[in-house]
Structure 1
Amino acid sequence: MILTSRMNAGALRPGDAVPGEAAVCAEFGVSRITARRALNELAAMGRVVRERGKGTRVIPFDHAPAPMTASLDGLLENVGHMGRTTTVQVLDFRYLPATADVAETLELQIGATVQRAVRVRALRGAPMSYLVTVVPEDIGRRIEGQDLSQTPLLLLLEDAGVPVASATQTISATVADPEVARALSVPAGSPLIEVNRLVRDEDNRAVEMIRVLYQPELYRFEISMRRVTADAGRTWQSVAPDRLRSL
């Protein structure tokens, strides 16, 4: 929710007035019912107090977790760090036929059996991300019986002897559909960061696809850059942050 992000960022501080229902309707183009529900949810979360005749005010919130920061180029390091600092709830786990989209991404035949898992990752008790992972059946069988709530799937694959070698990922923005909204305890339509990643082994076989939806106030990407001289002149070059390399 945008108002939550403003509070987490300090744009709205304890004691500040929060836009009322009419102002929320005007700013975000929503109905009065939606605006009232959003403000009531903030009150239920302990972020604001609503008083008749006095409006809505921000109140101190000491339990909001600081957002997790990850580098764009530290894929394995980020996964390990996340596994040590967050908790996971498995919502769904099954084998099923690959849809056309999944088959194309994993370079399988349509209808081939794949393992699909849906999880929610929490940062200090606050739902942070909604994850959907899909792997080919033979890869999934290697990690059968392992606890996906304790160890990130990528690390389980490596421990099972899958030689993970490369990955490509895209980062974009999306909104929460009703199912994701329920899992992340946010209103439907809330803005989310979407990350899609395809992992390959040493033989360039696609061994895992993952879609992760992050709450933007709880997760952010960071890239460190150094100014260097190249053939085309002065330019920027990405470097791995020392603090992430040491995790």
Structure 2
Amino acid sequence: MQQTLPLPKYHSVYLVLKERLRDGLYDERVPGELELMEEFAVSRATVRKALENLAQEGLIERSAGRGTRRLPPPATAGHDAPPPTRMTGLLDNLITASLDTTVKVIEHEYVPATEPVARMLQVEPKSQVLRAVRVRSTKAGPVSCITTWVPREFARNLGRRQLGRKAMLVLMEESGIEIGRAHQTISARQADAAVAGLLGMPLGSALLSVNRVVYDVKDRPVLWLQGLYCPDRYEYEMELSRVGEIDAKVWVSKDFNAYMR
């Protein structure tokens, strides 16, 4: 079993301060370097690096003589309305979130379906399925490593070049597949050597793990996805009520800095 490696000290300080800023624990004034050095028992260089990262994200402003002050969260600024899509609810939001990222196709090949893949996609074992591995990134760095399997009959519009340009669900809709619903589970996993390298994270880092099966309107499985997400760059929110519909939303941050190697 892999052991989780500790985060760099500056990154631990940075994460704590960012959560405090998000939770509104600081008014306009943010504690200075000396106060933070004492609180976290770290060096000035460590505190300075954490504050520099927060400043680069637009969460704080630092100036000589005035110290450090909190800035309004980037989410409060106005954003252009997302382009309309034909799907609604969570699936629509997943597509919209993907539009804020770029994608690199790491693997793209037709392979015989293993027993777990065949079971999830309700196809015969060893039948041909498309296996694609993609890394999604913002300007700040990688956000997710996503592995998908698609039955060959539903993969005719999913070429390597196309997957590098558009979201998979958009391509499937364009090929005439009508998306109906999805079943999703969320858990946690540690980054193995391969994923850690692709996401630029330490080996053993905690990742958000998403397992999703997408069905068409005839309730046929058309896609099985296993996604591993950097937890400080990907957010999942769900509104729950006693009656009525469940509204879920996904955000991908465009501003968070990449992990330092």
Which residue number corresponds to residue 90 of structure 2?
A: 75
Match of 1:163 among 146, 171, 178: 178
Cα displacement (A) at 1:198: 0.3
Name the stretch that deviates more: 165-174 or 82-91.
82-91
Q: CA RMSD in A?
A: 3.3
Match of 1:97 among 96, 107, 112: 112
Cα displacement (A) at 1:242: 10
Cα displacement (A) at 1:155: 1.0
1:177-216 equivalences under 5 Å are 177-216=192-231
Does the Cα contact within 8 Å between 1:67 and 1:219 map onto a contact in 2?
Answer: no
Does the Cα contact within 8 Å between 2:97 and 2:250 map onto a contact in 1?
Answer: no
Deviations 1:97-118 (A, max 9, x none): 1111111111111111110111
Match of 1:174 among 189, 196, 199: 189
CA distance in 1, matches of 2:199, 2:145: 7
Which residue number corresponds to residue 154 of structure 1?
A: 169
Does the Cα contact within 8 Å between 1:19 and 1:56 map onto a contact in 2?
Answer: no
Confirm whether residue 117 of structure 1 aligns to residue 132 of structure 2. yes
Which residue number corresponds to residue 6 of structure 1?
A: 16
Does the Cα contact within 8 Å between 1:224 and 1:239 map onto a contact in 2?
Answer: yes
More strand by share: 1
Aligned pair in 2 of structure 1 residues 59, 170: CA closer, same or farther (>3 Å)? same
Aligned pair in 2 of structure 1 residues 175, 5: CA closer, same or farther (>3 Å)? farther
Deviations 1:18-62 (A, max 9, x none): 566xxxxxxxxxxxxxxxxxxxxxxxxxxx935xxxx99634213
Aligned pair in 2 of structure 1 residues 242, 99: CA closer, same or farther (>3 Å)? closer
Amino acid at match of 1:58: A
Contiguous gaps of at least 5 residues in structure 1: 21-47, 227-234
Does the Cα contact within 8 Å between 2:90 and 2:249 map onto a contact in 1?
Answer: no
Aligned pair in 2 of structure 1 residues 119, 67: CA closer, same or farther (>3 Å)? farther
Name the stretch that deviates more: 8-17 or 210-219.
8-17
Contiguous gaps of at least 5 residues in structure 2: 1-6, 22-29, 59-72, 76-87, 252-261
1:14-33 equivalences under 5 Å are 15=33, 16-17=36-37
CA distance in 1, matches of 2:184, 2:249: 22
Which residue number corresponds to residue 60 of structure 1?
A: 52
Aligned pair in 2 of structure 1 residues 218, 225: CA closer, same or farther (>3 Å)? same
Which residue number corresponds to residue 107 of structure 1?
A: 122
Does the Cα contact within 8 Å between 1:67 and 1:218 map onto a contact in 2?
Answer: no
Cα displacement (A) at 1:188: 1.0
Aligned pair in 2 of structure 1 residues 179, 139: CA closer, same or farther (>3 Å)? same
User: Percent of aligned pairs with the same residue?
Assistant: 30
**Please, what TM-score do these two structures have when normalized by structure 1?**
0.70
Aligned pair in 2 of structure 1 residues 149, 243: CA closer, same or farther (>3 Å)? closer
Aligned pair in 2 of structure 1 residues 67, 89: CA closer, same or farther (>3 Å)? farther
SS of the residue 1:147 aligns to = helix
Which residue number corresponds to residue 45 of structure 2?
A: 49
SS of the residue 1:131 aligns to = strand
SS of the residue 1:119 aligns to = strand
Cα displacement (A) at 1:211: 0.8
SS of the residue 1:82 aligns to = helix
CA distance in 1, matches of 2:174, 2:231: 31
Amino acid at match of 1:110: P
CA distance in 2, matches of 1:131, 1:188: 18
Amino acid at match of 2:95: G
Which residue number corresponds to residue 26 of structure 1?
A: none
**Please, what TM-score do these two structures have when normalized by structure 2?**
0.66
Equivalent residue pairs, number = 202
Cα displacement (A) at 1:238: 5.5
Which residue number corresponds to residue 29 of structure 1?
A: none
Does the Cα contact within 8 Å between 1:176 and 1:188 map onto a contact in 2?
Answer: yes
